[in-house]
Amino acid sequence: MVSTSTQIAGFHFENCLMNAAGIYCMTKEELMEIENSQAGSFITKTGTLEARSGNPEPRYSATSLGSINSMGLPNLGFHYYLDFVRELEKEESSKNHFLSVVGLSPDETHLILKEIQASDYQGLVELNLSCPNVPGKPQIAYDFEMTENILSDIFSYYKKPLGIKLPPYFDIVHFDQAASIFNKFPLSFVNCINSIGNGLVIDDEQVVIKPKQGFGGIGGDYIKPTALANVHAFYQRLNPSIQIIGTGGVKSGRDAFEHILCGASMVQIGTALQEEGPAIFSRILKELEEIMLEKGYHSLEDFRGKLHYLS
């Protein structure tokens, strides 16, 4: 028997696969497609204080190796998603879920989190510190001082389970600096990684998306090595109480296996879910179970974080 069940901050999941924020999660209808698939959970589109229509289209484009997007945080407002997960989780048999949020300023982020703190929602929240696509707004998580200040303010009033979505880091010193900040706070998890920000894809002589003269976040095959490195770097550095969610370049059971081997407790699927649809979860789950069976692993704990090094 093989089990891919997992837990984050004590919340149980029947299996470790789910959507990445931004994919199949804008409306209740899309979220219900993930809910009714083989996914172990879903996360909502990142909700802001007010609804947003986002950047002009086309704002997502796929290539044979992945995707580029500059959506610009289109969403129905965080209340819509908060109300929806509260509604769903009233059912005893409901899966557990993740609510993704961020404000367009620190003040807005605090307004949102204070409202969630005051609500009866007891579930998981992912604070998105890594949106690369809103013109004029830098990614919070690339500014370590701002990140520490925001987290410090948040944890003065926020007492529910909270994790953060991170952009990729590319320097060992940055892994060290980021981890030493995150270790100061009672975070439930970090999610590595968001898209590699501000890449450029060209078709013939022209960019493929309209916003920002074609610049956008890169996902898919392009980013798996960067994602695995970030998952493992934080697995090596963070307090064991801070779990890791692995996101980036997952389109097969083998990719999910690698994320777990690097230390992930849950694995999210972005570009490949967008391209293949929610049936992808049963395929990847089956492929992951086959790999575990072949290797004689019964549970994710048998190999999580146990990456082999060359001696």
Q: Which residues fall in the annotated binding site for substrate?
A: 45, 69-73, 128, 194-195
Is residue 197 a contact partner of residue 165, using CB atoms and an 8 Å limit? no
Can you spell out the DSSP letters for the chain?
-----EEETTEEESSSEEEPTTSS-SSHHHHHHHHTSS-SB-BPPPB-SS-B--SPSP-EEEETTEEEE-----BS-HHHHHHHHHHHTTSTTPPP-EEEE--SSHHHHHHHHHHHHHSS--SEEEEE-----STT---GGG-HHHHHHHHHHHHHH--S-EEEEE----SHHHHHHHHHHHTTS--SEEEE--PEEEEE-EETTEESSSGGGGEEEEESGGGHHHHHHHHHHHHHHS-TTSEEEEESS--SHHHHHHHHHTT-SEEEE-HHHHHH-TTHHHHHHHHHHHHHHHHT--SGGGTTT-PPPP-
Bridge partners (DSSP) listed for residue 269? 19
CB of 40 to ligand DHB, least distance (A): 21
**Residue 211 interacts with ligand DHB (CB under 6 A): yes or no:** no
Residue numbers belonging to the annotated binding site: 45-46, 69-73, 128, 165, 193-195, 220, 248-249, 270-271
**Residue 43 interacts with ligand DHB (CB under 6 A): yes or no:** no
Among 37, 67, 96, 194, binds ligand DHB (CB under 6 A): 194
CB of 132 to ligand DHB, least distance (A): 6
CB of 29 to ligand DHB, least distance (A): 18
- Looking only at residues 242 through 271 of this chain, which bind ligand DHB when binding is defined by CB under 6 A? none
**Residue 71 interacts with ligand DHB (CB under 6 A): yes or no:** yes
Residue numbers belonging to the annotated binding site for FMN: 45-46, 128, 165, 193, 220, 248-249, 270-271
Closer residue to ligand DHB, CB minimum distance, 23 or 280: 23
Closer residue to ligand DHB, CB minimum distance, 178 or 285: 178
**Residue 41 interacts with ligand DHB (CB under 6 A): yes or no:** no
Q: Which residue is catalytic, options 16, 25, 131, 262? A: 131
The b-or-e profile of 160-188 (16+ CB within 10 A means b, else e) is ebbbbbbbbbeeeeebeebbeebeeeebb
CB of 129 to ligand DHB, least distance (A): 9
**Residue 187 interacts with ligand DHB (CB under 6 A): yes or no:** no
- Looking only at residues 126 through 145 of this chain, which bind ligand DHB when binding is defined by CB under 6 A? 128, 130-133
Nearest to 81 by CA among 120, 26, 21: 26
CB of 274 to ligand DHB, least distance (A): 13
CA quadruple 172, 178, 183, 189: dihedral sign: negative
How many residues bind ligand DHB (CB under 6 A)? The answer is 16
**Residue 72 interacts with ligand DHB (CB under 6 A): yes or no:** yes
**Residue 22 interacts with ligand DHB (CB under 6 A): yes or no:** yes
**Residue 46 interacts with ligand DHB (CB under 6 A): yes or no:** yes
Letters for 84-113 (x = contact with ligand DHB by CB under 6 A, - = none) are ------------------------------
16 is catalytic: no
Amino acid at 197: G
CB of 166 to ligand DHB, least distance (A): 10
Rule CB under 6 A: which residues touch ligand DHB? 22, 46, 54, 70-74, 128, 130-133, 194-195, 217
Catalytically active residues are: 131
